Amino acid sequence: MQKLETLNGFDKRQSVEVKVGKVGIGGANPVRVQSMTNTDTADVEGTVQQVKELYDAGSELVRFTVEKDAMAMAVPKIKQRLMEDGYDDVALIGDFHYNGHLLLEKFPEMAMALDKYRINPGNVGFGEKHDANFDTFVQFAVKYNKPVRIGVNGGSLDQGLLKKMIDDDMKLPENEQHGANRVFLDAMIASAIRSTNRALELGMRKDQIIISTKMSGVQEMVYCYSTLAKLTDQPLHLGLTEAGMGDKGIIASTSALSLLLNQGIGDTIRVSLTPEPGAPRSREVRISQQVLQSLGLRFFLPQVTACPGCGRTTSVTFQELAQETTEYLAKQMPQWKAQGYEGVESMHVAVMGCIVNGPGEAKDANIGISLPGSGENPAAPVFEDGKLVKTLQGPTMKQDFQKMVQAYVEKRYGQNKILATAK
Ligand code: SF4
């Protein structure tokens, strides 16, 4: 199996490649970004619109809830609409709990339309029913030749398994017991591994199984995935579940994902952010992308390096320029991508507040501007690839800088465009 080395020089964990629709996960593929809708799946139009929004933002796989007949009946229609509108690359995942085995039997068109099924081994029934329902679910995945994610979740861990593991731990001499918290985590891991082995016994191939063990604690998540990474070479889907809202949700998710990705662990990620009322669902996709880009694992959008500002920046010009440049890059990116400016997604633009660190950072960027701090000469040198190319000043400085960024993109990445066209 190919060993991957990231840009930061650390090795990515080796894993089997699983194909979900047209999207490869694990193996030599980059870490994939995925998300989940929050529409009623039975609402075909609303769900189609949100899948498009998520895909357009960069979500390569989109999952939706399938828990009622009306939702199952909507799935083939959603798929059809997406294909008619040219969205045939997005991989569609059905999220099943409790009755997945029944829905897959009752709605074969739904079963065929989906690219992957998610099963939570903690939510398939209790006792004997648990095993029978799990087996039936997996047998449908075999029948329709679809990959599955065995998605264990801390909030719905198989209670029978947990109880048995706690009882076993209690039987150990006191100084050898692991304690409830550790046993809980080990039960998450055991549930994932057992379910994977059972799915393999039932005829699934190794290249059809992805695993996740999601929970809401950062350290706990890191423990589970680090342990899983040593026990299996199935691709791992990372995510901190119930991450929460706003800063807390973003920071907790970023911490957990970064700690694991930085060890080369993780083949696909989802940021489970609770959106503020009215906020776009696609925010979680942008955060996933930003995590991967900040770690140097993938590039999606040119980045702005900006200093925080301090007592040397007495006007808001610097903050405005940093903000407007960030917005300008995001706005231009789809156009640059469509025009074939290959590599522009890894461009660095610096917007700096004064002479202290300004020229240094601006020289390190592809293109950078160092604004004058208070008391400095009101002129802003612009550097391209480390060389001073112009000094801007006056009221049109922001527009002039954007024009220079556009010209730089055409000059630097237009070369790649010509080469790509010539191939
Ligand atoms: S570059 Fe200048 S303005 Fe920016 S934080 Fe440093 S000292 Fe302050």
Question: Is 357 near ligand 1, meaning CB less than 6 Å away?
Answer: yes
Residue nearest to atom 7 of ligand 1 (CA): 356
- Angle CA 405–410–416, to nearest 5: 130
Q: Report yes or no: 156 and 184 within 8 Å, Cβ to Cβ.
A: no
Per residue in 20-78, pLDDT tens? 999 999 999 999 999 999 999 999 999 999 999 999 999 999 999 999 999 999 999 99
Q: Report yes or no: 245 and 277 within 8 Å, Cβ to Cβ.
A: no
Task: Give the span between the Cα atoms of 411 and 387, in whole angstroms.
Answer: 15
Per residue in 183-203, pLDDT tens? 999 999 999 999 999 999 999
Q: Report yes or no: 187 and 194 within 8 Å, Cβ to Cβ.
A: no
Task: Give the span between the Cα atoms of 352 and 337, in whole angstroms.
Answer: 27
Question: Is 356 near ligand 1, meaning CB less than 6 Å away?
Answer: yes
3-state SS, residue 162: helix
**Would you give the DSSP letter of residue 301?**
S
What Rg, from alpha-carbon coordinates, does the chain have?
A: 25
CATH architecture of the domain 4-294 equals Alpha-Beta Barrel (3.20)
Q: What is the mean pLDDT of residues 384-413?
A: 95
CATH 3.30.413.10 fits 303-422, yes or no: yes
Amino acid (1-letter code) at residue 403:
K
Q: Report yes or no: 35 and 59 within 8 Å, Cβ to Cβ.
A: yes
88 pLDDT higher than 80: yes
Q: Which atom of ligand 1 is nearest to the CA of 354?
A: 2
Question: Is 358 near ligand 1, meaning CB less than 6 Å away?
Answer: yes
- pLDDT value at residue 2: 38
Cα of 370 vs centre of ligand 1, distance in Å, is 10
Task: Give the span between the Cα atoms of 115 and 22, in whole angstroms.
Answer: 9
- pLDDT value at residue 136: 96
- Angle CA 28–34–40, to nearest 5: 150
Q: Which atom of ligand 1 is nearest to the CA of 357?
A: 1
Q: Which atom of ligand 1 is nearest to the CA of 318?
A: 3
Question: Is 310 near ligand 1, meaning CB less than 6 Å away?
Answer: yes
How is the chain split into domains, by residue range? 4-294, 303-422
pTM of the complete model: 0.91
